[in-house]
Amino acid sequence: MAVKGFNPYEMAQKQFDKVADLLQLDAASRELLRQPLREYHFSIPVQMDDGSVRVFRGFRCQHNDARGPCKGGIRFHPQETIDTVRALSMWMTWKCAVVDIPLGGGKGGVVCDPHDLSAREQERLCRGWVRAIAKDVGPLRDVPAPDVMTNPQHMLWMLDEFETVHGAKYPGFITGKPVGMGGSLGRTEATGYGLVFTLREALRELGIKVEATSASVQGFGNVAQYAIELYTKLGGKVLSVSCWDQSDQASYTYRKKTGINLKELLMITDRFGGIDKSKAEALGYERLPGEAWIEQDADILIPAALENQINAENVKKIKPGVKVVAEGANGPTTPEADEVLKQRGVFVIPDFLANAGGVTCSYFEQVQCNQNYFWPQEEVLDKLDQKMTAAFLAVYELAKTRKLFMRDAAYVISVSRVAGACKDRGWV
């Protein structure tokens, strides 16, 4: 999705270049890793319910598959751009590598607004996307998943089309399927819980008790809701959340000094993570401008909505009491803002580590599909905790011993693993 004046691919390349310098990567490895290995651009003709045909633009980027098949979601968004898909495919490579799962990075998208499409039209679009690329994806090549405005139903239509094209059952082709149709228990909670597993470890290392902390959260969708659930269960207090208001085309921050009540807010939240403003006010929430989430007197900030949300303009608004930024969204902090956070000694849990719970659970889904045996939810979440904790500690140890910023340490681990795999295969 395009955010005006901000190019996520340029940001992803800038972050990569910095680590390539740090690692003194050779020229060929740099060239190979700073762009996708392959990208597909295609048109998808879809018959609409009224008999007319609309042609949608589709993409798939396979950034790197040296460590295993590419993995990454498919976004449906009217402002989808190839540069966003490129950046996200690159971040997926680093994300899979930092949690050490045997997968590479990919991402896909379709320029469309599913709000304007009937269920049947969406089904034809999903099937068209798969037909356009069926020969270049698959359980051993590239495994898609849901992302912005795509859901388990879309994944099931895509799986069905893939199996129709190839004439066999391939449950490991796609993840994020409905539970009971090859989906994994725990996937819905995985990203938010995963973020809190890393936050819990960070606070432990910093010698701060979770119960003594408060947080301000940007976003109130899948990631934010489950992060809030687990964080409050551990004893933390969430002071405010922000979300997008579709009717006003604006964002708002909802604040309660005594702490928000997740259950009551969920009752007045739509499926897109939008809170009903008048009901929130009736429940005693203050309604502040959307940007206010960043300037709260909290110990922890959790950006869990969009990219480019902590930037050179607003980073100065972060209060001195903020000790940790745990990034739920992809690319929420720009490199310029990173520098400021670094100088101020704010502990940042970088996006591709903090939000890797989703892809880790998708990997578990693939493993369960391959075994044709599904684990109970508790087992999935236990395994997730182990993976996230181990990944966090590896990054933290490196950051400590080499005196690196957490994002740089995470990059050093990921890029070394991926560059090493490319070398071991004899690619460079």
The set of catalytic residues is 107
- The correct pick among 108, 109, 182, 290 for binding ligand NAD (CB under 6 A) is 290
Interface map 306-335 toward ligand NAD (x if CB under 6 A) = x---------------------xxx-----
In the complex with ligand NAD, the residue whose CB is nearer, 156 or 190, is 190
- 98 is an interface residue for ligand NAD by CB under 6 A: no
- 242 is an interface residue for ligand NAD by CB under 6 A: yes
Question: CA–CA separation, 316 vs 27, rounded Å?
Answer: 37
DSSP state of 116: G
- 305 is an interface residue for ligand NAD by CB under 6 A: yes
- 191 is an interface residue for ligand NAD by CB under 6 A: yes
Question: CA–CA separation, 251 vs 217, rounded Å?
Answer: 13
Among the listed ranges 105-113, 122-130, 151-159, 242-250, the one in contact with ligand NAD (CB under 6 A) is 242-250
Binding footprint of ligand NAD, residue count (CB under 6 A): 23
- The correct pick among 158, 358, 404, 410 for binding ligand NAD (CB under 6 A) is 358
In the complex with ligand NAD, the residue whose CB is nearer, 205 or 264, is 264
In the complex with ligand NAD, the residue whose CB is nearer, 256 or 277, is 277
User: What HEC string does 261-297 produce?
Assistant: CHHHHHCCECCCCCECHHHHHHCCCEEEEHHHHHHCC
- The correct pick among 243, 318, 384, 415 for binding ligand NAD (CB under 6 A) is 243
273-276: long-range pairs with CB below 8 Å, 24+: 273/219, 273/220, 273/221, 273/222, 273/224, 273/225, 273/243, 273/244, 274/220, 274/243, 274/244, 274/245, 274/246, 275/220, 275/241, 275/243, 275/245
Which tokens is 205 given? 């290392």
In the complex with ligand NAD, the residue whose CB is nearer, 220 or 363, is 220
Residue 241: CB minimum distance to ligand NAD, A: 8
- Laid out side by side, the sheet with 237-245 consists of 286-289, 250-255, 237-245, 214-218, 300-303, 324-326, 347-349
**Half-sphere exposure in the Cβ direction for 83 (13 Å, CA):** 13
In the complex with ligand NAD, the residue whose CB is nearer, 244 or 374, is 244
In the complex with ligand NAD, the residue whose CB is nearer, 47 or 246, is 246
Question: CA–CA separation, 154 vs 145, rounded Å?
Answer: 9
No. of H helices and E strands in the chain? Answer: 14, 12
Dihedral of alpha carbons 310, 312, 316, 322, sign:
positive
Residue 372: CB minimum distance to ligand NAD, A: 24
- 8 is an interface residue for ligand NAD by CB under 6 A: no
Residue 354: CB minimum distance to ligand NAD, A: 9
Strands (E), 68-213: 70-77, 104-111, 142-146
Question: CA–CA separation, 45 vs 361, rounded Å?
Answer: 33
Nearest Cα neighbor of 160 from 135, 199, 189, 126 is: 126
Q: Which residue is nearest to ligand NAD (CB)?
A: 221
Question: CA–CA separation, 155 vs 233, rounded Å?
Answer: 31
In the complex with ligand NAD, the residue whose CB is nearer, 30 or 307, is 307
DSSP state of 74: E
In the complex with ligand NAD, the residue whose CB is nearer, 183 or 274, is 274
Question: CA–CA separation, 51 vs 59, rounded Å?
Answer: 25
Interface map 266-285 toward ligand NAD (x if CB under 6 A) = -------xx-----------
Residue 3: CB minimum distance to ligand NAD, A: 9
- Residues from 381 through 400 that contact ligand NAD (CB under 6 A): none
Interface map 209-238 toward ligand NAD (x if CB under 6 A) = ---------xxxxxxx--------------
Question: CA–CA separation, 264 vs 334, rounded Å?
Answer: 34
Residue 304: CB minimum distance to ligand NAD, A: 5
- The correct pick among 61, 298, 304, 326 for binding ligand NAD (CB under 6 A) is 304
Residues engaged in binding ligand NAD (CB under 6 A)? 191, 218-224, 242-244, 251, 273-274, 290, 304-306, 328-330, 355, 358
